[in-house]
Amino acid sequence: MTYVSFLQDKPLDFAAIGRLCIDLNANEIHRPMEETMTFTKYVGGSPANITIGMARLGLQTAFIGKIANDQMGRFIADYLQRNQIGTTNVVTDQTGAVTGLAFTEIKSPTDCSILMYRDNAADLLLTPAEVQESLIAQAKVLLISGTALAQSPSREAVFQALSYGKKHGAVIVFDLDYRPYTWTSAEETATYYNLAAEKCDIILGTREEFDMMERFETNPEKDDRITAAKWFDYSAKIVIIKHGKEGSIAYTPDGVGHRAKSFPAKVVKTFGAGDSYAAGFIYGIMQGWTIEKSMEYGSAAACIVISSHSCSDAMPTAAQVDDYIERCNRGEITAS
């Protein structure tokens, strides 16, 4: 059963709008940040990670965003280009804004946290006028990420992109990507998340992220089916609720709840799971696979990334995901 169809005549498979940042991942793991002395620099930012994942899986991709006019901004642009990600709509800030930094703390495979430096971050300064309609018109999929809704003018830029995406028939994916520190009030957060979600075909988020969106509703049991059902009255065709290690569930407008096999992983750190899952899932759906097979692919991609040190640089190729699934099926990989 096909729930989403893609306009096959479009040359660009995937475009994402949102933040391009830097991850600084602790080299000395299994200790608190206070005791960490060295970090490795990677491109980061959830929508950037997902786009890198799509590019690694062999798709034609492009990014819509704003980078700082400094060494970090140039590092990001160069990395995207080396990964064959289109940068014609990556705008360079001219106001002295800086690149957002995410320092990661890896205390144990289950206890990880992120310390963000995002004052005057360039990515939140993308304006609606800077969003290229011509680029979105070429894309089969447009992915938006919730953090870009946190402040103006990037909030309006996302709504502008949504409007272009709708006009040109792109399948719109919303990765909720809720990061509380960029928002000022719970009511504002829920309002803008809900306004954006109404326009999207595929919505992906964790249980906690959907809880945040349900601020004005009642769902005391935190029932995933109730959560998903609301969105089928708007544009949604697939709603996925992620539950960390326990896996995820996808609902479709016919009321079916789709579950997929999850895989064991030798976990180094937990972050990056959602981004790699999103890339693997969207890739699968674009291949015309079932929801279950696409979820399985996303889960395997997530296992590869959480078993690695980085998020972006560890995004797997299709051959790596296939190999991981085969090795799991042969019982060669066990959980840490």
Ligand X SMILES: Nc1ncnc2c1ncn2[C@@H]1O[C@H](COP(=O)(O)OP(=O)(O)O)[C@@H](O)[C@H]1O
Of the listed pieces 129-137, 192-200, 218-226, 265-273, which binds ligand LHLMWEOZ according to CB under 6 A? 265-273
Cα–Cα distance measured from residue 307 to residue 269, given in angstroms and rounded to the nearest whole number: 7
Cα–Cα distance measured from residue 60 to residue 134, given in angstroms and rounded to the nearest whole number: 16
Whether 306 and 333 have beta carbons less than 8 Å apart is answered as no
Whether 317 and 301 have beta carbons less than 8 Å apart is answered as no
Among 277, 281, 283, 324, binds ligand X (CB under 6 A): 277
- What do you get for the CA distance between the two ends of the chain, in Å? 36
Residue nearest to ligand X (CB): 274
Size of the site for ligand X (CB under 6 A): 17
Task: Give the DSSP letter of residue 58.
Answer: T
- Residue 123 found at the interface with ligand LHLMWEOZ (CB under 6 A): no
What are the angstrom distances between the C-alpha of 208 and each of 45, 51, 93, 196, 280?
A: 19, 24, 33, 18, 22
Query: Residues 79-118 vs ligand LHLMWEOZ: string with x where CB under 6 A?
Result: -----------------------x-----------x----
Cα–Cα distance measured from residue 64 to residue 141, given in angstroms and rounded to the nearest whole number: 13
- Residue 21 found at the interface with ligand LHLMWEOZ (CB under 6 A): yes
Residues 47-76 that bind ligand LHLMWEOZ (CB under 6 A): 49
- Residue 316 found at the interface with ligand LHLMWEOZ (CB under 6 A): no
Q: Looking at beta carbons only, is 3 or 72 nearer to ligand LHLMWEOZ?
A: 72
- Residue 113 found at the interface with ligand X (CB under 6 A): no
- Residue 269 found at the interface with ligand X (CB under 6 A): no
Of the listed pieces 42-50, 124-132, 192-200, 289-297, which binds ligand LHLMWEOZ according to CB under 6 A? 42-50
- Name every residue whose Cβ is closer than 8 Å to that of residue 16 and which is 6 or more positions away in sequence: 47, 48, 50, 51, 61, 63, 64, 142, 143, 144, 145
Among 267, 289, 317, 318, binds ligand X (CB under 6 A): 267
Of the listed pieces 43-51, 136-144, 236-244, 292-300, which binds ligand LHLMWEOZ according to CB under 6 A? 43-51
Backbone phi and psi for residue 250, each to the nearest 5 degrees, phi listed first: -115, 135
Cis peptide before 153 (omega within 30 of 0): yes
Site residues (vs ligand X, CB under 6 A):
206, 242-245, 247-248, 262, 265, 267, 273-274, 277, 299, 302-303, 306
